[in-house]
Structures are given as C-alpha cells and as structure tokens.
Amino acid sequence: HEVPPMLRNAGIRMHPKILEKQLRAYDYDNSGTMDFNEFCGFVEKITDRPEIRQLFEEYHAASGGNIRAAEFTHFMNLEQKDPLWTDDYSRRLFRKLTGTGEHDSPVLSLERFTWFLGDNVQ
C-alpha cells in the first residue's frame, strides 16, 4: 500500500490492523484499490476529530468558518496554557501553515487546525 507512508508524512498515525480495516471499509466496489471518491471518504473519516471540531467551534467566532490569528492566540493562551503566545506568533504560524504572504491576513481552516493539533499536541 502507498497509503501508510503517505499518512505518516501527513502526521496521521494508525495501528496497521485498524488502518487495513478502514481501507477495506472505504473500498466500496471491493476492487482492492481506492478511487478518488473512496479515498476522500476514508481521509474525511480518519481525520474527523469531534473534540477538535468542538474546540474550533468555540474559538472561530465570526470568521467565515476559519479561525483568525487573534482567536488562535486566545486558544493558545487559555487551552494550551501558553500566556506568552502572541498574535504575531499566530500570524507567523498561519503564514507557514497556509503559505500566505507577509501582508495577507491568514486564517486557519478546521482541517489545518486539526492538523496542527494532531501533529503538535499529545
């Protein structure tokens, strides 16, 4: 399978037996391979983290489904107990995660927020 190394590179870790079971469950046509739609369903399932979605909903306020730097700073200060985290840190992190330019106002989507927490918070 090409999927396990790809998932590891994306910071997603799963026990091999659970991964194999999930892959079979999303191979709807039982072809032994996954087409794009099957793969999208699989990725959506394994990256759905209700506890992270709930945190995101608490902090994203009125940002059009995204979280702004100030909201993320508030999250880092309260939830991650990092009182020294600033809006500037958030903006720099957002630019790194999203590839936006220095003068843009970057925001994080739920997917990027989930990735950040999954990769950095244990």
Residues 12-35: tens digit of each pLDDT: 777 788 788 888 888 889 998 888
- State whether 31 and 78 are in the same domain: no
Class of residue 16 by CB neighbours under 10 A (exposed 0-12, middle 13-18, buried 19+): exposed
Last residue of a domain, one of 27, 47, 67: 47
In this structure, the answer to whether residues 76 and 113 fall within a common structural domain is yes
Do 7 and 26 fall within a single domain?
A: yes
120 pLDDT higher than 60: no
Average model confidence (pLDDT) for the chain?
78
Alpha-carbon distance of 109 to 103, in angstroms, equals: 19
pLDDT of residue 121: 44
User: Does one domain contain both 72 and 35?
Assistant: no
Is the pLDDT reported for residue 5 higher than 60?
A: yes
Give me the domain span that covers residue 42.
3-47
Mean pLDDT of all residues in 88-116 = 78
Find the mean pLDDT for residues 69-78: 88
